[in-house]
Structure 1
Amino acid sequence: MTAQAGPGPAWTADALARQAVAASGLGSLPGPLLDDLMAGSTRLWVPAGTVTHREGDTVPHLELMISGLLKFYVTAPDGRTITVRYCRRGALMGVVSLFAPHFVMPASAVALTDTALMRLSPARARSAAARELPVAQVFLRELSERVLGFMAEIPGSAFASVRQRVARHLLDLAAGADDGGQTALLVAWPGASPELAVRTTQQELAEAVGSVREVVVRILRELREAGVVRTERDRIVVVEPGRLAELAIWNPGS
């Protein structure tokens, strides 16, 4: 006989929460299954700069991004960090912690902007997956996407040049419109192509790509001279996103 989670309080399905659910794999669930899974969930407000999870944590968790921008990163013994995932609205986090025996958090997570999360009950999620095939399929798809995503990070992190990693990181930051202010869409004049302003410092950029500030400063200078980006006091403006995307591609034959 399969254990079932007891009834919990109804979840707050406001407009932002509904948008986040629709953007996630949970959006495919029938209403009753979704309501049962989300029952007892709690909304969290995470200020920018807050570490939400640390490498080595063992507590199971399941969270849904409502708004903001959060990154997962690993840290080398010498203090350098490499970003392995960005999470925006609709991202599910922690599914692996529900099913991996002896789970240990492999990375840390920090909010890059003020962030809203919905924290679900791990026990309720496990019970729902054991009882309901649609719920199990949602989690299987999420785990499959994470495996493919992390496998794609291997060549990008190990073989790409620092220049390619810088270009890719800027595009990653600029990819989301609902990120709580991390990026801004700029139009210099009517009819002009839009520019993306990424709020990050040269030091933060260096840490994200696993390099040092001096190297990143040189690369940004080259990109600026080529007309691809424009650097300002507290942000980097992507003037030519298409050209930056071409620079971000790792080509095994190059």
Structure 2
Amino acid sequence: MSLFGQDRSFLDALTLPDRRVLLAEGAPRAYEPGDVMIRERDTTTYVLALLSGWAVVSVETERGARLILALRGTGEVVGDLAAVDQGPRSATVTALGRVEAVAVSGVRFRGFLAARPHATSLIMRQLSTRLRSADIERRTLASGTVLQRLAARLVELAERAGRRGDDGTMLQLPLPQHDLAAAIGATREAVAKALRLLREQDVVRTANRRVIVTDMEVLLLLAQGRAQPPGTRPPEKSPPAV
């Protein structure tokens, strides 16, 4: 499962002239932390090209809970699905920190793609990647434990948005516990318990909404389901039958 998009963002994959044309088609916008940039089920079709900052993509479940689907950063575009098929918004996009973006209308974005087959191919590849990721996510939610899913998220955040230091890898994205819970389809209480287990075994350290991964090897094994949860012992073997 993955919170992040492809290694190379949409804007980076465009040629410099095409990127300039696309950005010139829109208007600059700025968002503060917590601002809703796109709202689920809205009928708007504009696309946002992110120039700086991070945004959270989430949906509301049938039970009224929030499920985080992805994190989008500099160079990526959000809102492209509604721009292409002109249907209702499939998710809400919220600014995680301050975000600078360019808003391009759906009409102009479709015109941009129609004139550039390479850009259309990039968007189709992006949509395909997100669909495959969603399929993997559903399987993980159905089979993985809270600890395993949390470990996988922390590994991904450390690898994609972490800063290495002498005492471990500090996650650069300030995701509070309720957002970590929403990113793995669990309750905040369950995530707090799993984090406590990881802290007790010196796998991570937490303070002031920050997480530092101190033992990446163990965390990766937990994410892969190849290690026992911290603080537990493997089941005793049954005595041989006589």
Aligned equivalents of 1:205, 1:28: Cα separation in 2: 30
Note if 1:27 corresponds to 2:1: no
Aligned equivalents of 1:148, 1:127: Cα separation in 2: 27
Aligned equivalents of 2:206, 2:14: Cα separation in 1: 44
| 2:170 matched residue in structure 1 | 196
Aligned equivalents of 2:34, 2:163: Cα separation in 1: 19
Q: Aligned to 1:65, what secondary structure does the other structure show?
A: strand
Q: CA deviation at 1:185?
A: 4.3
Q: Aligned to 2:57, what secondary structure does the other structure show?
A: strand
For 1:140, which of 112, 124, 138 is the aligned residue? Answer: 124
| 2:95 matched residue in structure 1 | 111
| 1:215 matched residue in structure 2 | 190
Structure 1 residues 181-209: Cα deviation after superposition (integer angstroms, max 9, x where no partner)? xx654334xxxxx4214533333322332
Aligned equivalents of 1:74, 1:196: Cα separation in 2: 27
- Give the RMSD, CA atoms, in angstroms: 2.5
Asked if 1 retains the 8 angstrom alpha-carbon contact of 2:84 and 2:106, the reply is no
| 1:187 matched residue in structure 2 | 166
TM-score (norm 1): 0.75
For 2:219, which of 244, 247, 250 is the aligned residue? Answer: 244
Asked if 2 retains the 8 angstrom alpha-carbon contact of 1:81 and 1:209, the reply is no
Q: 1:28 to 1:53 in 2, by over 3 A?
A: closer
| 2:4 matched residue in structure 1 | none
Note if 1:56 corresponds to 2:41: yes
Q: CA deviation at 1:218?
A: 1.6
Runs of 4 or more above 6 Å deviation: none
Asked if 1 retains the 8 angstrom alpha-carbon contact of 2:11 and 2:76, the reply is no
Aligned equivalents of 1:220, 1:30: Cα separation in 2: 43
Aligned equivalents of 2:175, 2:18: Cα separation in 1: 40
How do 1:8-157 and structure 2 match up within 5 A?
23-101=8-86, 103-157=87-141
AA at the equivalent of 2:151: A
Bigger mean CA offset, 105-114 vs 238-247: 238-247
Q: 1:76 to 1:134 in 2, by over 3 A?
A: closer
Q: How many residue pairs align between the two structures?
A: 219
TM-score (norm 2): 0.78
Q: CA deviation at 1:59?
A: 0.9
Q: 1:129 to 1:154 in 2, by over 3 A?
A: same
AA at the equivalent of 1:242: E
Q: 1:134 to 1:239 in 2, by over 3 A?
A: same
For 2:143, which of 159, 164, 169 is the aligned residue? Answer: 159
For 1:229, which of 201, 204, 218 is the aligned residue? Answer: 204
Aligned equivalents of 1:246, 1:217: Cα separation in 2: 20
AA at the equivalent of 1:63: L
Q: CA deviation at 1:175?
A: 4.0
Q: Which runs of 5+ in 1 are unaligned?
A: 1-21, 178-182, 189-193
Q: 1:250 to 1:65 in 2, by over 3 A?
A: farther
Aligned equivalents of 2:98, 2:208: Cα separation in 1: 21
Asked if 1 retains the 8 angstrom alpha-carbon contact of 2:69 and 2:183, the reply is no
| 1:19 matched residue in structure 2 | none
Identity %: 28
Q: Which runs of 5+ in 2 are unaligned?
A: 1-6, 227-242
Q: Aligned to 2:33, what secondary structure does the other structure show?
A: coil
Q: CA deviation at 1:223?
A: 0.8
Asked if 2 retains the 8 angstrom alpha-carbon contact of 1:69 and 1:112, the reply is yes
AA at the equivalent of 2:36: V
